[in-house]
Amino acid sequence: MTARPVVRALLGDGLARLCTALLAAVILLAVAGPLLSPWSAEDIDWAALEAPPSAGHWFGTDLVGRDLFTRAAAGARVSLTIAAIATLVSVLIGVPWGAAAGYLGGRVDTVMMRIVDVLYALPFVLLVILLVVVFGRNPYLLFAGLGAVFWLDLARIVRGQTLRVRQAGFVEAARAMGAGPATIIRRHVLPNVAGPALVYATLTVPGVILAESFISFLGLGVQEPDTSLGVLIADGAQTMESAPWALVFPALLLAVTVWSINMLGDRLRDEIDARSGSAGHAGTRGSYNLRPARHGARP
Amino acid sequence: MNQPRTGRALLARLAVSLVTFWVIVTAVFFLLRLAPGGPFDGERQLPPEVEENLRAAYHLDEPLVVQYGRYLGMLARGDLGPSFKQKDFSVNELVASGAPVSLTVGGLALLLAVAGGIGTGVRAGLAPGSALDRTLMGVAGLGLALPSIVVAPVAVLVFAVLLGWLPAGGVDSPAHYVLPPVALALPFLAAIARLTRGSVAETLTEPHVRTALAKGLPAGRVLRRHVLPVALLPVVSYLGPAAAAMLTGSVVIEQVFELPGIGRYFVQAALNRDYTLVMGVVVVYAAFILTFNLLVDLAYTRLDPRIRLGGR
């Protein structure tokens, strides 16, 4: 596999190093943040209602005196968890969909990708909002709904990659030996498209974080006493005139998280694109001279 | 271009759009009705007979399929029905009063995102790797990470509360239409700038561009005639999803800036189970997005003569 040279190339790049460090800091905050602070996310400090950042409360406190550092850490934890689960859902839908469309080809491919085209144009977050409103604030539904929105890009990418792998000698050989489509997709196609799929999956993480914050901002996502970056930003926006820190810190945390994952994902994608000639089975090498299939060009 | 074929293909596209429209209407209709609760379980318990009468008056006592057929029939006549909650208004009236505001904000934001994004992206893409390129793309990267839920409140705080240059909310003057479209457009402007930059930089290396330059054509002409038509293709295909996302974003923008658009109805009506009003907002959004996508497809065939509607 190509993991090692990719990692080495990224570590040689200042921007990527910075992003990795920032991301590690955010994850550390999300995991260990509540342990670092003497306050829990729900403790109320009656001596410091809506207090600015200080030695006792690093990010200040909110309207009812809760420690914002702890709450920001808890919010980041929730946002990252939702993003991870929703991304997993999108991988579970998008990768098989794209692989099946690309491998089976012909009419099946046309229909499957036309469905993706149609869904792509829908105001899907509206449907997610409807789902959440209608079926109650079940967080699992939120994950599933968001995942079901974000699989479209993945399906397109995986289909494009599959079209290239499909031509390879080893796939031909497997077919000649009598392997069925399901077996070939599982054993030969999926391992070869895993790298690019993984990269594009990282690029859906910031999208999910933003969508969750959007829905929570409207008061429809994560509910009190739980919190997320979107909830904190919404609360902070309410009190920003008297307590700007309540908006600034969560917003900064969200921006840093999204920005560093975006940048890192872009760099990863560039690396993978540059190296796609050597990705996967040795046997595919020759076939990568084929012109890459692009679904983006419309029918 | 082959005219009769384009015409027929356009009809086919229109048919696909209509089917999509029907799918959306149907999905939202049944989704809403599957939900527990109804428009009349309000704060005050109604006597059973009154509620019975209300339900009959709004045809809520009929089987769901009959109601669905009735709604489609009304929709075909352009009637969105009465609002269940805002009793003195029909959904048509509510939508007619709110849609101009929403579409103005959305349209201005789209214009800003496209003009600003392409302008920035071309600047950066013409000199890939330069200091200008790195600066512009660094800023664009930040723009992508700042969603409207952050930009909108901060813009209100800075420009309305602290500086007092622009009004914080409402729609009384053109000045009210400055901050909302800017806050809505920013992430999309950044996305279009990045897309354009990559595409322009890639197109510059293509043989037909090098040939044009080698023939001694002026750089401006090469850019307009040989680079942009190719480089803008991915941007054009991004416009459909971008328009859909901007309309969705207007739900937040209308809330922050207290705009009387249709987006703010959406969440409230869904929570209230005001079935017809939710449907009305969805119908307007869907119609707008599908029309816009058709226009994008047309623009696409104009830009790229290899692509014809219908043919693969």
Question: Nearest-CA neighbor of A158 among A98, A78, A83?
Answer: A98
Pair of tokens at residue B229: 């038509």
Host H or E run for residue B123: helix B91-126
CA distance A71 to A232: 8
- Tens of pLDDT, residue by residue over A27-69, are 888 888 777 777 777 777 777 677 777 777 777 777 777 878 8
Give B216 to chain A, closest Cα distance, Å. 31
Predicted confidence at residue A134, as pLDDT, reads 66
For tokens 């729900």, the residue is A42
Q: How many residues does chain B have?
A: 312
pLDDT value at B28 more than 50: yes
Residue A6: its pLDDT value, please? 65
For residue B278, the model assigns a pLDDT of 85
Please give the residue that has the higher pLDDT: either B190 or B243: B190
Quick one: pLDDT band at residue B41, thresholds 50, 70, 90? low
pLDDT digits (tens, 9 = 90+) for A184-242: 888 888 888 888 888 888 888 888 888 888 888 887 777 777 788 888 888 888 887 78
Instruction: Classify residue A32 as exposed, middle or buried by CB count within 10 Å of its CB (0-12, 13-18, 19+).
Output: exposed
Q: Do B150 and A233 touch (CB under 8 A)?
A: yes
Please give the single-letter amino acid code of residue B227.
V
Mean pLDDT of chain B: 82
Q: Which residues of A touch B240 (CB under 8 A)?
A: 120-121
Q: Which residues of A touch B312 (CB under 8 A)?
A: 110, 299
Split at pLDDT 50, 70, 90, the class of B3 is: low
Under CATH, which number does the domain B99-264 receive?
Answer: 1.10.3720.10
B/e letters for A171-209, b = 16+ CB within 10 Å, e = fewer, are beebeeeebeeeebbeebbbebbbbbbebbbbbbbbbbb
Of A288-297, B49-58, B186-195, B197-206, the range with the lowest mean pLDDT is: A288-297
Burial of B112 (0-12, 13-18, 19+ CB in 10 A): middle
Q: Are the C-beta atoms of B191 and B249 separated by less than 8 Å?
A: no
Whether the predicted pLDDT of A155 surpasses 80:
yes
Give the separation between CA A122 and CA B293, rounded to whole angstroms.
10
Is 90 exceeded by the pLDDT of residue B112? yes
Is the pLDDT confidence value at A286 over 60? Answer: no
Amino acid (1-letter code) at residue A116: V
With cut-offs at 50, 70 and 90, classify the pLDDT of residue A111.
Answer: confident
pLDDT band at A4 (very low <50, low <70, confident <90, very high): low
Distance between CA A251 and CA A228 in Å, rounded? 11
- A123 and B141 within 8 Å at the Cβ level: the answer is no
Model confidence band, residue B42 (pLDDT cutoffs 50, 70, 90): low
User: In this prediction, what percent of chain B has a pLDDT beyond 90?
Assistant: 6
Residue A214 C-alpha, separation from nearest chain B C-alpha, in angstroms: 7
pLDDT of A104 > 70? The answer is: yes
- Provide φ and ψ at A238, rounded to 5°: -65, -35
Reported as a single tens digit per residue, the pLDDT across B226-276 is 888 888 888 887 887 788 778 777 888 888 888 888 887 888 887 778 888
Whether the per-residue pLDDT at A267 is higher than 90: the answer is: no
Q: Which two tokens stand for residue A176?
A: 């000649």
- Residue A178 to chain B, least CA–CA distance (Å): 31
Cβ proximity of B254 and B102 under 8 Å? yes
- Rg of chain A in Å (alpha carbons): 22
Better-scored residue on pLDDT, A87 or B263: A87
pLDDT of A166: 84
Mean pLDDT, residues A9-36: 80
Report d(CA B12, CA B22) in Å as an integer.
Answer: 15
Cα separation of B110 and B245, whole Å?
11
- Taking only the tens place, the pLDDT of each residue in A127-146 is 777 777 766 666 667 777 77
Report whether pLDDT(A290) > 50: no
Span of A74-78, A96-100, B80-84 with lowest mean pLDDT: B80-84
Closest to A68 (Cα-Cα) out of A87, A89, A43: A43
At residue A280, does pLDDT exceed 50? no
Q: What is the mean pLDDT of residues B5-17?
A: 78
Residues on chain B touching A261 (C-beta within 8 angstroms): none
CA A84 – CA A261 distance, rounded (Å):
13
Contact A73, A58 (CB under 8 A): no
Chain centroid, CA A91 distance in Å: 10
DSSP 8-state class, residue A187: I
Chains A, B: CB pairs < 8 Å: 124
- Facing B285 at nearest CB: one of A126, A131, A262: A126
Query: Residue A97: its pLDDT value, please?
Result: 92
Name B39's Cβ contacts closer than 8 Å, sequence gap at least 6: B58, B60, B84, B85, B272, B273, B274, B275
What mean pLDDT comes out for the span A154-182?
86
User: By CA distance, what is B187's nearest residue in A?
Assistant: A210
Q: Which two tokens stand for residue A40?
A: 């829990």
CB B1 within 8 A of CB B306: no
Question: Which of A134, A153, A253 best tests the B interface by mutation, with the highest count of B CBs <10 A?
Answer: A134
Section B70-92 average pLDDT: 83
Contact residues on chain A for B265, CB-CB shorter than 8 A:
none
